[in-house]
Amino acid sequence: MTNIRKRFERALAGEKFERPVYAVYDWFVKNRPAVDWSALFRLGLGQINHANLVRHEHPNFELVKTESEQAGQVRRDVRLITDKGELHEWYLGEWKQEHFIKTAEDYRIMMRALEGVRIIADDKPFMESESMLGDQGITIGQIQGLGSGRTPLMVLQIDWVGLEQFSGDLAYAQPEMFELLEIMNEIKLEEIRQAVKTPATQIKLWENLSIETLGPPNYRRHLVPLYKQIIEIMSSAGKRLQVHYDGQSKIISQDIAALDFDGIDSFTEPPEGDMSTREARAAWPDKFIWQNINLNWYEMSSEKLKYNLLRVINEAKHKRHCLMISEEVPQNWEKTVAFVLEVLDGI
């Protein structure tokens, strides 16, 4: 079996290669049971695992989770209970239907929930993942807490507030939002300080950045300064930062270039994104491009799919690049994932 770990390590180190690794996120391996993953791994598919690097101890809230059935799907309700009030969110299947924060008072309740948090480095999940994977792939560190491993502004937008309300609160400079954001930024920096104590060398922020919503001015005002602080802590410890930017990024491509990100995770060409691989490599000559294969490519003819695969490999300049299944598994996975591996083997 091909040693995928060593191929990843060489690519991350900047060595040139003929064919990139093609790998899948561990989330899909766990949550798409209809796929015969063992067969695909035997054909040469790699796996990218993610492991939490810290534990949180929160003395000032309790989470109460319940499940029920609604419209033939699983409904999950989550209550966050503090001595200053209670917040509620709920999901239908995999999708969030209601967010924790809906009012100014909710921001204050969340501030109370975060008071006194203790953050502890924890390398056990990472070491267990590495042992399980062996040579089949690599483990990336992450920091999951109440939010989904993002920077605080993105936690608010995506996880706790929701796009519509977040946009209004940001535009009108909701004081409670910015007070909470300041607290969260300090917590994030402490999470990073603890995370770099673990053996993980690559650490990912699950940003899911929507620059068309946030806008470049807010990106530069709120995210760039925090990124710089995070990178300083990580660089001092010999660690490298990835950001999950799977959408549009052309308008801030030079801002991204100026930041010492090691990699752009789940980079996706149009129509999901707005940059070609050629443009990405020109903008970020030394960054690792973790490239998600567009889902519509799997619906193309074999000739067209092969053309696109060879095109992006060449445009990435055969360095600091891999191909991934990181947004969704193609429905015709049995045929097309095997075909991608066949194309790569033929290079």
CA distances, 224 to each of 8, 116, 202, 258, 289 (Å): 28, 27, 19, 10, 20
The dihedral built from the CA positions of residue 82, 191, 268 and 153, taken in this order, carries a sign that is: positive
Looking up tokens 């200053």 gives 84
pLDDT number for residue 2? 67
Q: What is the DSSP letter of 269?
A: -
Query: Taking the domains of the chain in order of start, what are their residue ranges?
Result: 4-58+117-345
Q: What's the topology of domain 4-58+117-345?
A: TIM Barrel (3.20.20)
CA distances, 148 to each of 130, 139, 153 (Å): 22, 17, 12
**Cβ partners under 8 Å of residue 62, min gap 6:** 80, 81
Question: In whole angstroms, what is the distance from residue 233 CA to residue 190 CA?
Answer: 10
**Cβ partners under 8 Å of residue 131, min gap 6:** none
Give the pLDDT of the chain (347 residues) as one tens digit per residue: 469 999 999 999 999 999 999 999 999 999 999 999 999 999 999 999 999 999 999 999 999 999 999 999 999 999 999 999 999 999 999 899 999 999 999 999 999 999 999 999 999 999 999 999 999 999 999 999 888 899 999 999 999 999 999 999 999 999 999 999 999 999 999 999 999 999 999 999 999 998 998 999 999 999 999 999 999 999 999 999 999 999 999 999 999 999 999 999 999 999 999 999 999 999 999 999 999 999 999 999 999 999 999 999 999 999 999 999 999 999 999 999 999 999 999 99
User: pTM value?
Assistant: 0.95
Here the tokens at position 157 are 């937008």
C-alpha triplet 181, 117, 259: angle, nearest 5°: 45
Amino acid code (one letter) for 186 = E
Alpha helices in the chain (DSSP H): 4-12, 26-31, 37-43, 104-114, 124-133, 152-154, 163-171, 175-195, 211-214, 216-218, 224-236, 253-258, 277-283, 302-315, 333-345
Specify whether the CB–CB gap between 80 and 98 falls below 8 A: no
CA distances, 22 to each of 4, 32, 160, 296 (Å): 9, 18, 33, 17
